[in-house]
Structure 1
């Protein structure tokens, strides 16, 4: 995957990629629309825009799947969320508050900044929402932690 900086996609597209990864990389358009509480045409438009990035593949009437590159990028997005949530919890926010606050601004935080926060936190392997994988970062001494 090309070098990522974390600003490639809009917050809504980031959420869709994370959603897909959490569902083993596959979902039907109608399920996505229902879970995001939007019209199916809105999801179809977003899927069309994401398809040209090479992060997803869409087969009409079958569903959407993450490509290998899409899985890697979505992994970074989840890692970013979990590191930001963990960082915020160090400042007195509850688990729920930290997760919600991280969701509000995570799309505006660069990969470089996430790598620096990760290092300052001691390369954590668990966040508030789950395991933190380090296979998309260059800051950790062991990338397959």
Structure 2
């Protein structure tokens, strides 16, 4: 993914609950019905509709009433960052004695409050791991930034 197709964001734009919505939609893939999201996240359907409308207004989702939602290009890029952030932070916690499940559960409680800049620095300090406890870790952006600012050896 090149710099132009990767939107600029801090990683702190959304509440933890909205982060959950985007990750759920990415995990399901394609168009996801509002009722499926309500059920999966155990949220009242009216709350789900309100949150989906807010995410659509902010440009993260395409929302078609009575059909469902899917991620926009911006939504896909942001959600890929959310997954990357989760995987890097979970891997970090396993280095400090937490099991994979403990790390994943713990990160789910605080990940929405960790900035993109901090994630890139953690990723860099860990040597840009390719695989975390939850799956493959992407590196397009943080490697680009590192290579752009580093002095050739």
TM-score by length of 2: 0.88
User: Between Structure 1 and Structure 2, which shows a larger proportion of helix residues?
Assistant: 2
1:32, 1:118 → 2: CA distance?
A: 31
Match of 1:46 in 2: 51
1:94, 1:139 → 2: CA distance?
A: 31
Deviation readout 1:14-39 (Å, 9 max, x if unpaired): 11111111122421000000001111
Summarize the Cα distance change of 1:110–1:25 in structure 2 as closer, same or farther, 3 Å threshold.
farther
| 1:131 alignment partner, one of 124, 133, 136 | 136
Summarize the Cα distance change of 1:57–1:40 in structure 2 as closer, same or farther, 3 Å threshold.
same
Match of 2:16 in 1: 11
SS in 2 for 1:86: helix
Deviation readout 1:56-91 (Å, 9 max, x if unpaired): 011011100100110000000000000000000000
Give yes or no for contact 1:134–1:140 (8 Å, CA) kept in 2.
Answer: no
Match of 2:67 in 1: 62
Give yes or no for contact 1:116–1:139 (8 Å, CA) kept in 2.
Answer: no
Q: Does 1:107 align with 2:112?
A: yes
1:13, 1:139 → 2: CA distance?
A: 27
For structure 1, the residue ranges without an aligned partner over 5 or more in a row are none
TM-score by length of 1: 0.92
What is the CA distance between 1:4 and its match in structure 2? 0.9
Task: Give the structure with higher Rg (CA).
Answer: 2
2:31, 2:21 → 1: CA distance?
A: 11
For structure 2, the residue ranges without an aligned partner over 5 or more in a row are 1-5, 148-153
**Higher RCO (CA 8 Å, separation ≥ 6 residues):** 2
SS in 2 for 1:45: helix
